[in-house]
Structures are given as structure tokens and as C-alpha cells.
Structure 1
């Protein structure tokens, strides 16, 4: 494998490892991993499959739950946001992709808990309750996404600048 692909896969693998280690609640590299993969993998198939494989491995260790299809769906959409970011990577696009991914993940996962769980009543009031219950955790999701996106995109940019031949597309 070339250094670029090895580095990309290593970053994704480290995200999976981070998920199974103790860490602050909701401060996770998951959405950043998806955005980063969409922006940097040379094929769309790899951009989708590598993060999903990393998630699947870590989910087998963490435990499965009924909202996983929604989580994985949100990740695939975040990878697609990464395709847009990758067309012309800039701090503004990374920030927009990061914020969009955070909001998407918040709405999809909290709505999924309402839809497939029995924690909230059916109907629009139950959905609003599920969304409201997630608000206190959103700040941590947002923080994790912003920090990990800055770290992944910044580190990879530095590697591309320092090793241009090894990291060329």
C-alpha cells in the first residue's frame, strides 16, 4: 500500500480504537472520521466502506442496538458531505461539513431513539421530547466533531505538504 492510503486507513482504525477506550461522553471521532474519509479517499466505495467497517468492528465490541442502521445511515450521509468538502478543501468547508455532520447526527440519532425505542410517546410530542433530551449532549458532540476534524484535516494537510510525492492523489 502507498503511504497515503496507509495513513488514511490508520486514522480510521484509530477512530475505532478510540471508541472502545474510555473517553468523555459524546466526544467521539465518528462523524469526523466519516467527513474526513469522504474528503480524502480516492474512491467513493473506500470512503464509505472503511469507516463503516471500523464502526462495525468497534460496535461488535461495544454492543449492538436497534438504532445502528440510523447511525450508519447518518455516517454515510456525512461521508457524502465529505465528498463536497474534498472538492476544494478549505477551513470554511471543513467547518461547514463538521457543523452539518454534527447537526445531522444529532437529529437522526435522537429521532431514531424515539422511533425504535419505547422511551418516548409516539407522535410529534414524543419526537420533541427525544430531541430535547439530546440537547445537553449536543455540545459534546459538536466539540468532538470540531476538534477531531481540525486534527484529522490539519494533520493530513501537514503530511501532504511535508511529503508531497508520497501523499499525492
Structure 2
């Protein structure tokens, strides 16, 4: 394993750890972790495997799998794939824009899963709307967390690459 790969894996695991430490509801690095993994792991399989494994580890630490897990992981996989579009051009505007899209994708898919799987809402249009409306208070923290942690992860890695990592890692 190269130094670059070790740094990337450690950053993803550190981001997953943000779910376990005390934090405001939905203010975590999960969306940023998915974008980051998609953008920085050269191998698409690794870009999916490492963030998914980190998400699974943090889920298990938090109490396991739930009825909406497939929706959460599906949204997460889409966000990793969105990160693939950052591989060649990691500008602040692109990272910020995709971070906002990632928050929205996760909100729409995960809350659709709550509506369809949890039995908390009637399975009709009114129930779907009620589910999304009930989730709105959590969306602001999700957006803030995704933007904040995207800045930390992408900016942090670029600083490490510039000032700490070897010349070989800088080239990647």
C-alpha cells in the first residue's frame, strides 16, 4: 500500500468516525466522505469499497442495519459516483456544487426509503409529502456538514499533498 493510499484510507475512516462522536443531527462527514472517495481513489472499485466499508463500520458501531439501509447505501453509492466527476477538476465551485447536489440526493433517496419502509407514513402522495416535510429540519445540518467536511477533506488532502506527501504521491 502506498503512502497516498494509506492517507486516503485514514481520511475516509476519520470521516466515518464523525458519525460516532457527539454532533448535531445530520452534521457529519458522510456525504463529503463519499465525494472524496470518488474523487481521489484512482481505482473505481476502491473508490466505492473504502467509503462503503467505512460507512458499514460506523453503522455497526452505531447499532447496525435498519429498514432503510439499502436506500442509504444506494444514495451513498450515487454520491461516490458523483465524486468521479471531480477526478480531473477539483475546483472549489465544483466541489461545493456537487456537495449541495449530494446533500439533495441523499435527502431525497433516504427519506423516500423512510416513507416506503418504516410504516410511519401512509404509502400515498400525502404520506410522501409529509415524510419529506418532516425531514426538512434535518436538511440544513446535512448541507452544512457536507459543505464543511468537503472543505476539510478536499482542502486537507490538497494541503497534505502540497506540504507533506512524497513527490510520487503529489503526482497522483
TM-score range, shorter chain: over 0.9
What RMSD over aligned residues (CA atoms) do the two structures have, in Å?
A: 1.1
CA distance in 2, matches of 1:55, 1:105: 14
Query: Could you say which residue in structure 1 is the equivalent of 2:43?
Result: 43
TM-score under structure 2 length normalisation: 0.94
What residue number does 1:24 align with? Answer: 24
Residues 40-70 of structure 1: CA deviation (Å, up to 9, x unaligned): 0010000000011011111112122110111
Once the two structures are superposed, what CA deviation does each residue of 1:7-57 show, in whole Å capped at 9, x if it has no partner? 100011112222122211110100100000000001000000001101111
Q: 2:118 — aligned with what? A: 117
Tell me what 1:132 maps to.
133
Task: Give the aligned partner of residue 73 of structure 2.
Answer: 72
The alignment covers a number of residue pairs equal to 169
1:101 positional shift: 0.2
* Structure 2 match to 1:58: 58
Q: Deviations over 1:111-166 (max 9, x none)?
A: 11001011111111110000001111100000000000000000111122223614
- In the aligned structure 2, how far is the partner of 1:131 from the partner of 1:17? 27
Moved more, 17-26 or 127-136: 17-26
Tell me how far apart the structure 1 counterparts of residues 17 and 151 of structure 2 sit (CA, whole Å).
Answer: 19
Q: Which runs of 4+ in 1 moved over 3 A?
A: none
Tell me the distance in 2 between the aligned counterparts of 1:35 and 1:149: 8
Is the CA contact 1:38–1:80 (under 8 Å) kept in the aligned structure 2? yes
Q: Distance in 2 between matches of 1:87 and 1:44?
A: 14
Q: For residue 160 of structure 1, what is the aligned residue in structure 2?
A: 161
**Preserved contact between residue 16 and residue 33 of structure 2 (Cα < 8 Å):** no
Question: Are the counterparts in 2 of residues 38 and 82 from structure 1 also a CA contact under 8 Å?
Answer: yes
